[in-house]
């Protein structure tokens, strides 16, 4: 493979955030009619393009950043509304946050009898509940 062809492939690889070896192999085969015997050659091209092998993480494609910012603004406004009471110590807001619980999250480890299954009734694993609130970690005076 020529150096200019390798540069073209590296430019191709920089167009997306991630690739599979199969995508790279197919691209090289279709465009340059080259198939390497060893995957090591593909690994070296990926490395030259600044790509590395890594574990993926989950992300929520339905996340709406606008709604998140609106909720954060609402929390900020609530803190401002109670500013005087917080300053005087009448109320305390140590931390405000949100938490999303999926019904499947309740299936964790618990202590139970060794000869019995521990079952938690779950109607719909897709159901979820979101909680917004404040936690007071302060020590009473």
Question: What is the mean predicted confidence (pLDDT) over 8-27?
Answer: 87
Question: What is the mean predicted confidence (pLDDT) over 127-134?
Answer: 68
In the predicted structure, residue 8 carries a pLDDT above the cut 90 = yes
In the predicted structure, residue 108 carries a pLDDT above the cut 80 = no
Question: What is the mean predicted confidence (pLDDT) over 17-24?
Answer: 84
Say what the pLDDT of residue 28 is. 93
What is the C-alpha separation between 35 and 81, in angstroms, rounded? Answer: 66
Say what the pLDDT of residue 7 is. 92
SS3 content of the chain, % helix, strand, coil (to 5): 45, 10, 45
Q: 11: pLDDT confidence band, cut at 50, 70 and 90?
A: very high
What is the C-alpha separation between 43 and 53, in angstroms, rounded? Answer: 9
In the predicted structure, residue 128 carries a pLDDT above the cut 80 = no
Residue 133, SS3 per DSSP:
strand
Maximum mean pLDDT: which of 8-22, 24-38, 39-53? 24-38
Say what the pLDDT of residue 112 is. 52
Which residue's structure tokens are 């996340």? 63
Which residue's structure tokens are 């305390």? 92
Question: What is the mean predicted confidence (pLDDT) over 51-80?
Answer: 82
**Residue 65 pairs with which residues in a beta bridge?**
none
């Amino acid at each position: 493979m020529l150096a200019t062809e390798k540069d073209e492939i590296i430019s191709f690889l920089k167009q997306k955030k991630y690739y599979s070896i199969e995508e790279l192999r197919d691209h090289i085969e279709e465009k340059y009619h080259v198939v390497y015997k060893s995957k090591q050659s593909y690994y070296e091209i990926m490395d030259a393009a600044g790509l590395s092998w890594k574990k993926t993480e989950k992300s929520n494609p339905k996340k709406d950043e606008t709604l998140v910012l609106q909720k954060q603004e609402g929390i900020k406004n609530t803190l401002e509304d109670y500013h005087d009471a917080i300053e005087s110590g009448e109320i305390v807001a140590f931390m405000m946050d949100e938490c999303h619980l999926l019904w499947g999250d309740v299936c964790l480890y618990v202590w139970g009898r060794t000869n019995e299954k521990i079952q938690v009734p779950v109607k719909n694993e897709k159901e979820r509940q979101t909680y917004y609130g404040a936690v007071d970690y302060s020590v009473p005076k």
